Amino acid sequence: MSEVLVLVDHVDGAVRKPTYELLAIAKRIGSPSAVFIGGADKADAVAEAVKGYGADKVYVVDDAEIKGYLVAPKAEVLQQLAEKSSPAAILIPASAEGKEIAGRLAIKLSSGLITDAVDVQVNGDEIVTTQSVFAGNFTVDAKVVKGTPIIAVKPNAAAPEQGDGAGAVEQFAAAISDAAKTAQIVAAQPRQATGRPELTEAAIVVSGGRGTGGDFTAVEGLADALGAAVGASRAAVDSGWKPHTFQVGQTGKVVSPQLYVANGISGAIQHRAGMQTSKTIVAVNKDEEAPIFELVDFGVVGDLHAVLPAVTAEINKRKG
């Protein structure tokens, strides 16, 4: 069975959830080979983690020489691994950096690239991807017709599947060109831990907009009761109520959770572009004419500052 390369998404060796989703997709196509580019001292723990989600092989690429350099060295690593292993496909998380790696890799390998796949299925000998475009108004089924399919996959495109892979570890010494070691991270300020799930990965997202009036207490209370991430509309971010990292929408994060709860958000096209593909959508808004109500599975016309605390209290009561 052909290998399928999966680029491991991690922060200092802590494997992020999209990696496990990619491994689940890789299993549909062939034999998953995780590619870990990171610190050698973290390799054992990472190998153990990805093995638990079906990785048959784990390529370990020590990043001592390339740590901090952006995109280009990782594209070179994947190029060299692809030339060595002739994989059936290369799966990369559709994060900002992931997509840039995929873009460079596509040119290097003369291979077609699909970005932002929300689903990947195998149909006979074809790998068929699904993308959501134009603010989620259209669904596009596409495939790569040249070279090795390179697919950048969005978070939540598949459910992680536990199950033992062979997990054979192989050290891989990539030859990195000097040209690739140019743009680099000079300083990084890790996001302050909120104790809440990461916005793009969360199964539930609770967002607030202009209607919060700047007071996110009710929104955050509901988010915590539901174990959800907190998001914000552009209006709320532009008002300085939340940092840009909370923004859901075309120029912020695009989320596709199981449940999206929009509070005091009117539902402008820019916001819809960031949440329209959520499985279930709920809105609370004082204005019954708000366009967000066109999207919802369930909507409450009312004051979020009254409705949300009551909902939160009831959820907490049921949880005991």
Partner 1 sequence: MTLSNIVVLVKYVPDATGDRKFEADNTVDRVGVDGLLSELDEYAVEQALQIKEKRADEEITVTALTVGPAEAEAAVRKALQMGADKAVHVQDDAIAGSDAVATSLVLAKAIEKIGVPELVVGGLASTDGGLSVVPAMLAERLGLPQVTLAAVVETQGDQVRIKRDGDTATEVVGGTLPLVLSVTDQSGEARYPSFKGIMAAKKKPLEALTLADIGVDASEVGLAAAWTKVDNVTARPPRTAGEIVKDEDGSGATALVEFLASKKFI
The reply to whether 217 sits near partner 1 by the rule CB under 8 A is no
116 part of the interface to partner 1, by CB under 8 A: yes
Residue 136 in contact with partner 1, rule: CB under 8 A? yes
**144 is a site residue for partner 1 (CB under 8 A):** yes
Q: Is there a contact between 25 and 91 (Cβ–Cβ < 8 Å)? A: yes
| Helix, strand or coil, per DSSP, at residue 122 | strand
Q: Which of 204, 205, 218, 248 binds partner 1 (CB under 8 A)?
A: 204
CA distance 28 to 26: 5
CB 233 within 8 A of CB 208: yes
Q: Is 40 in the site for partner 1 (CB under 8 A)?
A: no
Span 164-203, contacts to partner 1 by CB under 8 A: 179, 182-191, 198, 200
CA atoms within 13 A on the CB side of 189: 2
User: In which element (H, E) is residue 220 found?
Assistant: helix 217-226
Q: Does 299 bind partner 1 (CB under 8 A)?
A: yes
Kindly state the smallest distance separating residue 250's Cβ from partner 1, in Å. Answer: 7
Q: Does 143 bind partner 1 (CB under 8 A)?
A: yes
Binding mask 88-107 for partner 1 (x = CB under 8 A): -------xxx-xxxxxx-xx
| Binds partner 1 (CB under 8 A): choice among 22, 55, 153, 282 | 282
The CB density around residue 231, as the number of other CB atoms within 10 Å, is 35
CB of 75 to partner 1, least distance (A): 7
Exposure string of 24-44, with b = 16+ CB inside 10 Å and e = fewer, is: bbbbebbbbbbbbbbbeebbe
Residue 43 beta carbon to partner 1: minimum distance, rounded to whole angstroms: 20
Number of residues that bind partner 1 (CB under 8 A): 91
C-alpha distances in Å from residue 106, one per residue of 224, 231, 269: 41, 33, 31
Residues between 60 and 89 that touch partner 1 (CB under 8 A): 70-72, 75
3-class state of residue 234 by DSSP: helix
